[in-house]
Structure 1
């Protein structure tokens, strides 16, 4: 199984298990419309781990909830989401209920608010099995014990009758994973699965996900802020900013030669051991734009040191960062002036082209 999975990841064998095309999500109120996601596209192949990164509010979780069909009625969804060749956008709720949990599942960000506090964990896992696989209560209980053992919960036969509040945060997260993988879904969306967990527990959760990928061939969308987790667990990375995709690349390429200025900013702002003592942590200048409107321009231009009139006059296409490699290139970015391979980064040292210099910057010239 493992060799087949790794071959799929490297060679992209077969059709993608999840295909998202030009996805847009907006929320309308009486006074305004918020464009939370604007034109996001990606493919996910069997056994592959795609990390989706970006700062809070960039649209990562909304994209995931749209894929699951869990957005509220106020959301307007456009584009295409296909799982196993089936279109989910516009599908009736009864059809989505057959797919959720069976073909595509999600690990939610906060297990304490996602698990039912008045039901035992065994009953909550068993509910998925009885609904999608038609197991009897006894069969579902035995399978639930196996699943708890699979995700690394000790003494699963005694734990199965406990309630969520009786478990630690790491244990609750493992229960969430057990529920998500109960029916061996082809796609697993993990929304911040290691948030608020200590480093040791984080490592355990990531080991569980890696084991599931190798045993079952599950494709994983990993939504996270933690670039260390991305480096350890992901095969590819999709970087989002202000609801848009700005860069996509194999994980090693992204860390070695990020091309989009925003990605350079994210990597440059990571705290590194053995730094320069009390040196101020670099930050991306400027503010995240409002999502009330999505301009026909680069949304990162007001914060970018490389921006010029081209960047504010039109929206850049999402294409190869290297000339002549075509639209199917592994490394792509939405930028009019991407960094070249080996080019030094200046985003954290220069003043954005469209933002006036601060007095302390003027004094330092």
Structure 2
């Protein structure tokens, strides 16, 4: 999708494959999106659809077995194909990532304050004392009580919610223009989750940070996102403003995801609808609709060629031969 606003991050035709001794896995296939300053783009889809791989490619954190094709431009700078030294100067400073599991991402033998000061000293050249004071400020910014005391503690001494807030403090220490949040509220209770989302919203409003939010939780998407990119089997299948997508999903896969969400005031123990079948193997990407085997609307046209992205309304695109009607189209 092309925006009229100059994007801070522009991804074009991004493809990622992994070589093994016996096969090649095509994890991401020609994904494109733009991200404007201060915007939140949610990337959603079932597990194994390529959401995290897409963002790891943007960060330049994929293993040597990965082959990355396409363009990744951050504020006009091309990151695809950049060497480790170049990416090392950018990661943490201009673009940062909140990883899914903070306990495995934070260093267990360093205090949380030390882990923040290392980023500040490397990218901003602060002295030891100035960096330590700034670390305390950042812990307070992300809502950690008694931040000076907590800065001297180790990750195992903190709760899961606090560790996630520390990860956010590390990620935003240098005021990056782009923040990638990979399942930032996974395994957190509702109260802690709300606090994390409040922190992200505050960062966006106060610093103008653009956020790529990877999540399975469509409730989180509704609360925080401006736009949604729906991925299936490594491909983008729909992209739209959040309100429009929730009101009138046009791709059958998006409709299936939204239909499986439990809503307040639902009919007691009524069984939620589910999408039949499983995400296909990514050994080979067919020149056809990958969702066709699970789609009630699929026909020979869907299996004959890959559907291209088509603009159905302002800023609403989908890759489907038989897009679902809008709410207005089905209203008498």
Both structures adopt the same fold (TM-score exceeding 0.5):
yes
- In structure 2, C-alpha distance between the alignment counterparts of 1:296 and 1:166, rounded to whole Å: 51
Work out whether 1:98 is the aligned partner of 2:89.
yes
Work out whether 1:333 is the aligned partner of 2:324.
no
- In structure 1, C-alpha distance between the alignment counterparts of 2:256 and 2:4, rounded to whole Å: 34
Change (3 A) 1:217 1:250: same
- In structure 2, C-alpha distance between the alignment counterparts of 1:64 and 1:144, rounded to whole Å: 26
Work out whether 1:71 is the aligned partner of 2:62.
yes
How many corresponding residue pairs?
Answer: 328
Provide, for residues 281-321 of structure 1, a one-character-per-residue CA deviation record: whole Å limited to 9, x for no partner: 21011221110000000000011111111100000001212
Work out whether 1:228 is the aligned partner of 2:228.
no
Provide, for residues 125-159 of structure 1, a one-character-per-residue CA deviation record: whole Å limited to 9, x for no partner: 00000000001111100100110011011111111
Q: TM-score, normalised by structure 2?
A: 0.97
Work out whether 1:299 is the aligned partner of 2:290.
yes
- In structure 2, C-alpha distance between the alignment counterparts of 1:213 and 1:318, rounded to whole Å: 29
- In structure 1, C-alpha distance between the alignment counterparts of 2:98 and 2:208, rounded to whole Å: 17
**Which structure 1 residue ranges, 5 or more long, are not aligned?**
1-11, 323-328, 346-365
Provide, for residues 313-362 of structure 1, a one-character-per-residue CA deviation record: whole Å limited to 9, x for no partner: 0000012125xxxxxx40000001101212799xxxxxxxxxxxxxxxxx
Residue 276 of structure 1: which of 253, 256, 267 is its match? 267
**Which structure 2 residue ranges, 5 or more long, are not aligned?**
none
Alignment of 1:127-146 (within 5 A): 127-146=118-137
- In structure 1, C-alpha distance between the alignment counterparts of 2:329 and 2:290, rounded to whole Å: 22
- In structure 2, C-alpha distance between the alignment counterparts of 1:279 and 1:137, rounded to whole Å: 59
- In structure 2, C-alpha distance between the alignment counterparts of 1:138 and 1:44, rounded to whole Å: 36
Change (3 A) 1:316 1:343: farther
Counterpart of 2:122 in 1: which secondary structure?
A: helix
Counterpart of 2:211 in 1: which secondary structure?
A: strand
- In structure 1, C-alpha distance between the alignment counterparts of 2:14 and 2:277, rounded to whole Å: 27
Work out whether 1:320 is the aligned partner of 2:311.
yes
Counterpart of 2:249 in 1: which secondary structure?
A: coil
Q: Which residue of 1 aligns with 2:250?
A: 259
Q: Which residue of 1 aligns with 2:46?
A: 55
Counterpart of 1:79 in 2: which secondary structure?
A: strand
- In structure 2, C-alpha distance between the alignment counterparts of 1:67 and 1:277, rounded to whole Å: 43
Shift of 1:276: 2.2
Q: RMSD of the TM alignment (CA)?
A: 1.2
Work out whether 1:342 is the aligned partner of 2:327.
yes
Q: Which residue of 1 aligns with 2:172?
A: 181
- In structure 1, C-alpha distance between the alignment counterparts of 2:296 and 2:165, rounded to whole Å: 43
Work out whether 1:86 is the aligned partner of 2:77.
yes
- In structure 1, C-alpha distance between the alignment counterparts of 2:69 and 2:278, rounded to whole Å: 27
- In structure 2, C-alpha distance between the alignment counterparts of 1:318 and 1:88, rounded to whole Å: 25
Change (3 A) 1:13 1:321: closer
Larger Cα-atom Rg: 1
Work out whether 1:309 is the aligned partner of 2:300.
yes
Work out whether 1:217 is the aligned partner of 2:213.
no
Q: Which residue of 1 aligns with 2:281?
A: 290
